[in-house]
Structure 1
Amino acid sequence: MKKNMGTTDRIIRIAAALVLGYLAYYKITNANLVLVLTIVSIILFITAAFGTCPLYTILGIQTTPRKQDNTVAGHPKH
């Protein structure tokens, strides 16, 4: 799959995964939420590791930096 997540997006997802994983592991939240937090944490970490978010693909979102266009008014630079 084509990468559709930028560096900042990936860092935020990893940080969120770590926080949610910490909350789930130490059972700081309600016992019913531990499973949900664990699953969300795993999903965030996997999508950040691969740089691809299936939901972004469906919605047409891309946070990767755009390539610079080497043209001036439609003509290549010389």
Structure 2
Amino acid sequence: MLVPYAFTAGLLVLALVVLTASLLVTLRSVRRFHAARSAVTSDLADRAGMLRARVAGVGVALRQRCPKRSC
């Protein structure tokens, strides 16, 4: 009578070990995804800022070239 309970307990322990391992792998993947997303977001914000600065520079150059809108 003790053997079926031991077998069930063993399966339960094995299932918990597999679940824990799977959870750790998933959390590690989520952490890597979050780091990559943060890097992409930062890079995109930097590029957008540079584009805004270039557009502003072109606007300044055009105003200096044609100061009274005569062009």
Structure 1 length normalisation: TM-score? 0.30
More strand by share: 1
Structure 2 length normalisation: TM-score? 0.32
Structure with more contact order per residue of length (Cα contacts < 8 Å, sep ≥ 6): 1
Q: Which has the larger radius of gyration?
A: 2
More helix by share: 2
